[in-house]
Amino acid sequence: MLEIRNLHAGVDGVEILNGVNLSVNAGEVHAIMGPNGSGKSTLAQVLAGHPTYEITQGTVSFEGQDLLEMGPDERAIAGLFLAFQYPVEIRGITNGYFLQSAMNSIRKARGQEELDTLDFAELLEEKLKEIGWDDSLIHRAVNEGFSGGEKKRNEILQLAVLEPKLAVLDETDSGLDIDAVRSVAEAVNRFRSDERAFVVVTHYQRILDYLTPDHVHVLSKGQVAKSGGKELALELEAKGYDWLREEAPVG
């Protein structure tokens, strides 16, 4: 589904990603871990097409398409979703209206019929029921005055509604207490399927207790320094990241 080959990217001439390689297949959950400044969040932003980052080398293909040639909205339409580390506020626009606009924009681009307000409300209610959350966030302006936990939950709700093929979660667990981490992780688990892949960027191992990744990758100095199974995450939790800096990059 996703093939990253020798990806180099940076800001203002400073290279942050320094030759990343990664393959993600449908149905898999990959965890990306690493110390602060290793390039984890940059990787997430680059995959979604944030205009600040300059790609200097390498290729990324998504479902056979050249991802780097696509605009951020085209990537969303193709089925790539990013749960933001810092979700943005939009004044005066309710969450429900925002989601409906987003969904219809995607449906229109895919040649599907747009949903009217009633149909959309029904779909939304269904999704909320599925993850067991109430509709308290729906009628408020997008992320405006939301607590940290509400913002992260809102990202997962958007994921649930937009049903992407590939979801990239950028430190969705950071700043959350343990109950909130569990609640978010459980919601994500509900949307795991054979057709959908997840890339979970995280600093801590604890969300992986609930998410059980198929693969764990450690990013260091803008490269994948080590890859392994879920036991690698536990090892990192115990030993920290320092020992990795001695090892040669893989891939």
Partner 1 sequence: MDRNDDPSASAAIDQHVQQPYKYGWSTDIESDLAPRGLNEDIIRLISEKKNEPEWMLEWRLKAFERWLTMKEPSWANIRYDPIDYQAIHYYAAPKQQKKLESLDEVDPKLIETFEKLGIPLEEQKRLTGVAVDAVFDSVSVATTFKAELAKHGVIFLPISEAIVEHPELVEKYLGSVVPRTDNFFAALNSAVFTDGSFVFVPKGVRCPLELSTYFRINATSTGQFERTLIVAEEGSHVSYLEGCSAPMRDENQLHAAVVELVALDDAQIKYSTIQNWYPGDETGSGGIYNFVTKRGRCAGRNSKISWTQVETGSAITWKYPSCMLEGDNSVGEFYSVAVTNNHQQADTGTKMVHMGKDTKSTIISKGISAGRSQNTYRGQVKIMKGAENARNYSQCDSMLIGDQCGAHTFPYIDVRNSTAIMEHEATTSKVGEDQIFYCQQRGLSEEDAVSLIVNGFCKEVFRELPMEFAVEATRLLGVSLEGSVG
- List the Cα angle 40/175/76 in 5-degree steps: 50
Q: Which helix (H) or strand (E) holds 2?
A: strand 2-11
DSSP string, 42-57: HHHHHHHT-TT-EEEE
Work out whether strand 54-62 and strand 215-220 pair parallel, antiparallel, or are unpaired: unpaired
Told to check if 146 binds partner 1 by CB under 8 A, we report no
Token pair belonging to 107: 């449906």
According to CB under 8 A, which one of 18, 33, 41, 84 is a site residue for partner 1? 84
Among 14, 36, 51, 179, binds partner 1 (CB under 8 A): 51
What are the structure tokens assigned to 93, written together?
């626009």
**How many residues can be counted in the chain?**
251
Site for partner 1 in 60-79 (CB under 8 A): 71-73, 75-77
Q: How far is the CB of 77 from partner 1 (least distance, A)?
A: 6
Which segment (26-34, 60-68, 105-113, 120-128) binds partner 1 by CB under 8 A? 105-113
Coarse DSSP helix, strand, coil percentages of the chain, rounded to the nearest 5 percent? 40, 30, 30
Any contact of residue 44 with partner 1 (CB under 8 A)?
no
- Choosing from 35, 61, 68, 98, the residue that interacts with partner 1 (CB under 8 A) is 98
Q: Which is nearer to partner 1, 75 or 215 (CB)?
A: 75
- Measured from the CB atom, the residue of 91 and 246 that comes closer to partner 1 is 91
Closest C-alpha among 55, 45, 53 to residue 88: 45
The yes or no reply on residue 91 touching partner 1 (CB under 8 A) is yes
- Residues engaged in binding partner 1 (CB under 8 A): 11, 48-52, 71-73, 75-77, 81-82, 84, 87-93, 98-99, 101-103, 105-106, 109, 141, 158, 162
